């Protein structure tokens, strides 16, 4: 896309009505690589550029939270060679990007079953989280070894333990309390969920949190995703009427 087209997409965004939290299911690395006659891992490597583009464009717009589905619980079932390559790539990217995250005032965060990650990944991830913890322009969350059903079950387990220990009464459990046991506690729910690669499903990602999110399905494979694709998704989001179960008249009257 020509540079002036990108600028005009960006200029059309209403900065007063930005989604506070954007979540992205990065999909299509393997198919993109295959279409180029390259191994799947080449697709993952190329996807790192798109991660940068997404983070930069979201931060430049003023989005407060960006959450990326980088590795699902189910991804462990992939061939060992690919899992190892993804873990190495993740480790390298985390190590390489801390300086840039700090330069751009971006805080790194991670959700998921982090104990299942290789020790070195866990250590460098914790180090990067610690080194960026005071940044407050945007929180970039990586969902790693994450799945929503895993998250909900671990929240239910915590709740059962709290009740068993007499620290919580079942009648005091409401949505807000349950949310405090999820890995995303303290974050607003994503208002916009983007999935790339033309697939129209949510694949066990933030099922609780996306209850009212607007969904945007991009035809691009993840390695092709650039700033203008994020702008396009935000512009599309801004054209939607978010009713939260109310009528259109109730919503427009409030404006």
Q: Is the CB of 163 or the CB of 215 nearer to ligand FPP?
A: 215
Instruction: Please report how close the Cβ of residue 140 comes to ligand FPP at its closest, in angstroms.
Output: 9
Q: Is the CB of 36 or the CB of 157 nearer to ligand FPP?
A: 36
CA 177 – CA 253 distance, rounded (Å): 32
Instruction: Please report how close the Cβ of residue 149 comes to ligand FPP at its closest, in angstroms.
Output: 17
Q: Is the CB of 128 or the CB of 213 nearer to ligand FPP?
A: 128
Q: Is the CB of 132 or the CB of 155 nearer to ligand FPP?
A: 132
Instruction: Please report how close the Cβ of residue 170 comes to ligand FPP at its closest, in angstroms.
Output: 38
Interface residues with ligand FPP (CB under 6 A) are: 26-31, 44, 47-48, 51, 68, 70, 75, 89-90, 93, 142, 197, 222
Positions marked active-site:
27, 75
Instruction: Please report how close the Cβ of residue 46 comes to ligand FPP at its closest, in angstroms.
Output: 8
């Amino acid at each position: 896309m020509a540079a002036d087209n990108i600028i005009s997409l960006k200029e059309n965004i209403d900065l007063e009505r930005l989604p506070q939290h954007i979540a992205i299911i990065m999909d299509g690395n393997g198919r993109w690589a295959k279409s180029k006659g390259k191994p799947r891992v080449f697709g993952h490597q190329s996807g790192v550029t798109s991660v940068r583009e997404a983070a930069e464009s979201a931060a430049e717009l003023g989005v407060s939270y960006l959450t990326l589905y980088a590795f699902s619980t189910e991804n462990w079932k992939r061939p060992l060679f690919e899992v190892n390559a993804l873990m190495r790539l993740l480790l390298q990217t985390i190590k390489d990007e801390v300086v840039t995250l700090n330069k751009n005032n971006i805080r790194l965060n991670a959700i998921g079953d982090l104990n299942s990650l290789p020790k070195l990944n866990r250590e460098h991830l914790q180090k990067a989280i610690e080194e960026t913890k005071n940044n407050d322009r945007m929180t970039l969350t990586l969902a790693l070894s994450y799945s929503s059903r895993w998250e909900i079950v671990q929240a239910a387990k915590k709740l059962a333990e709290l009740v068993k220990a007499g620290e919580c009464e079942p009648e005091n459990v409401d949505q807000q309390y349950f949310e405090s046991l999820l890995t995303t506690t303290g974050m607003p729910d994503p208002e916009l969920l983007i999935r790339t690669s033309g697939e129209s499903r949510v694949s066990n990602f933030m099922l609780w949190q996306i209850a009212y999110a607007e969904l945007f399905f991009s035809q691009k494979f993840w390695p092709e995703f650039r700033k203008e694709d994020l702008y396009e998704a935000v512009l599309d989001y801004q054209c939607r009427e978010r009713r939260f179960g109310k009528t259109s008249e109730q919503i427009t009257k409030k404006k």
